[in-house]
Amino acid sequence: MDSSGIVSSLALMRDRSNGLGGGFAAYGIYPEYADYYALHVFYDSEEARRKGEYRLRRYFNIVWEEEMPTRRRRGVKRSPLIWRYFGTPRDEDLEDWDPQEAAVEAVMEINSSGEGIYVFSSGKNMGAFKGVGFPEEIAEFYRLDDYKGYIWTGHGRFPTNTPGWWGGAHPFCLLEWSVVHNGELSSYGTNRAYLEMFGYVCSLQTDTEVIAYIFDLLMRRHRLSLRHTVQALCPPFWEQAALMAPEEREAVAAIRIVYSAALLNGPFSIAVATSQGILGLNDRIKLRPMTAAEQGELLAVASEEAAVRVLCPEPERIWQPAGGEPVLGLVKGAESLWP
């Protein structure tokens, strides 16, 4: 798909934004560099770029680099320097070397350096495009009409408790994870402290950042299934668990105990994507809206039904998921994610 559908969908929800943040993530957009990590980077200045590129080359073998193609857009102001790089992590000769872990450590170190360098996208064959502006303006700025992907996520921001700045716009990404979020996390302090025990550094001044890191921790590092990860982030109430079969009830209780600090509290509606599919999820008592629709092989999830109908004008199914009820769309061959 090209970007026109999701851009139109978000433009329809313009009143949900205030021009202080918009962004997109797309999967399958770099087939010629599919085996390399695509690093999208903000720099505050040319001096920051000089230091940032030195850091990047310490951690990655860069095979291609360029300034991000953009076009001037009236509503997009005070943009940082934006570059992209394609490469592989270094130190592959070390014993027990894990390229994904090496990439995560590099991103954490660079983003916490305090030198005006922010790696805001770091996955393979995918990329985030975000900034300060309304979503449709950000799409024009990044020339998203030049890209085609098989999964798209997007967001229009109305920041309340955190600053509206380029690094704070959604999506938030780590490796192939991308997260867009409507709401706020009252559990942010607990979630952040828990993640920092495992070496994650939250440096982007917003609560949404922890969601991407929790998915990475639970699914990549701890190898939980997507089903168990969802039960950790948004567990069923104990009254609901009591109605489950004994084996499932025990699993839910164990996850709730072990991963209590990963539980997301507060009003939220999120869409989480990877190269293998997309997940929509509300908080347990549905304090934020979500509508989903299916039309053929297309799954669409949004905060408003009207926005969903832009993408699925003649849906075969359209519904409002219950609180804590996951909406899942997987690409062919990825069924093992949800056993």
Tens-digit pLDDT profile for residues 267-309? 999 999 999 999 999 999 999 999 999 999 999 999 999 999 9
The total domain count for the chain is 1
Range of the structural domain that residue 156 is part of: 4-175+272-332
Residue 90 domain flag:
yes
Tell me how far apart the alpha carbons of residues 312 and 140 are, in angstroms, rounded to a whole number. Answer: 23
* pLDDT, the chain, mean: 93
Give the per-residue pLDDT at 20: 83
Give the per-residue pLDDT at 93: 62
Residue 199 domain flag:
no
Tell me how far apart the alpha carbons of residues 60 and 71 are, in angstroms, rounded to a whole number. Answer: 28
Residue 128 domain flag:
yes
User: What is the β-pairing status of strands 126-131 and 22-27?
Assistant: antiparallel
- Where does the chain have alpha helices with state H? 4-12, 46-59, 99-111, 135-141, 188-196, 209-215, 226-233, 238-241, 246-258, 305-311
- Name the more confident of 76 and 100: 100
Tell me how far apart the alpha carbons of residues 189 and 228 are, in angstroms, rounded to a whole number. Answer: 22
> From the CA atom positions of the chain, what is the Rg in Å?
19
Residue 314 domain flag:
yes
Torsion of CA 83, 87, 89, 91, to 10 degrees: -120
Give the per-residue pLDDT at 72: 86
162 pLDDT more than 80 = no
- Furthest-apart CA atoms within the chain: distance in Å: 60
Give the mean pLDDT of 237-265.
Answer: 93
The CATH code of the domain that includes 97 is 3.60.20.10
Residue 197 domain flag:
no
pLDDT-derived band at 338, boundaries 50, 70, 90: confident
Residue 153 domain flag:
yes
Give the mean pLDDT of 135-140.
Answer: 94
Asked if 217 and 195 count as a contact pair (C-beta separation under 8 A), the reply is yes
Residue 84 domain flag:
yes
Residue 242 domain flag:
no
Is 85 in a helix, a strand, or coil?
A: strand
